[in-house]
Structure 1
Amino acid sequence: MSHLPNHETGALVKRINRIEGQLGGIKKMIVEEQPYDEIIIQLNSARSAIQTISKLLLEAQADHSLMNVADGESLDNEMKKLQKVIKQYNRMN
């Protein structure tokens, strides 16, 4: 994906696994009828973690596009790919 360690597939999968754990904990809180404010705190934490992964993927795409252009790929094609990722990223925020 990218040459940066936090963009590697393994690192991203670890982040996703943590989020899955968070969501499981949130589900348990709901089942146990924990206070809503505490549940919302945990939901915000999970949302923040998802946004972080989204940012890392955006960075990875930018890095990937720059490396591809340096290797002779079409600048126009790489710009289109990057613009598509930026558009999706902006929909999250």
Structure 2
Amino acid sequence: MSHLPEHQVKNLVTRINRIEGQVGGIKKMILAEKPYDEIIIQLNSTRAAIQRISKILLEAQADHSLMNVAEGGELEKEMEQLQNVIKQYNKMN
């Protein structure tokens, strides 16, 4: 991820930390035998947060690939990397 600006890395780490908190909260809800619908709401919220991080990374890869090609990078190599990221992103949906 060396192509991400430091502020974006910090943003992603902050998001991951929040997700860790959400998962801990879900665990506590299960142990406290909270209603299933409430637990599922929290699971959906966590999944959405993870998908948002995935989208940010996909966009960063697209930007990185375009910038590298514009600066003389190998088009085929960059396209392959971008396609791999898109494949992984699509597996989440």
Normalised by the length of structure 1, the TM-score is 0.93
Read off the aligned partner of 1:45 and give its amino acid letter: S
| Bigger relative CO (Cα 8 Å, ≥ 6 apart) | 1
Unaligned runs of at least 5 residues, structure 2? none
- 1:1-93 aligned within 5 A: 1-2=3-4, 8-93=8-93
Q: Distance in 2 between matches of 1:53 and 1:68?
A: 22
- Could you list the structure 1 runs, at least 4 aligned residues long, displaced by more than 2 angstroms after superposition: none
Q: Could you say what the CA RMSD is over the residues aligned between the two structures, in angstroms?
A: 1.0
Secondary structure at the residue paired with 1:25?
A: helix
Sequence identity percentage: 71
Aligned length: 90
Unaligned runs of at least 5 residues, structure 1? none
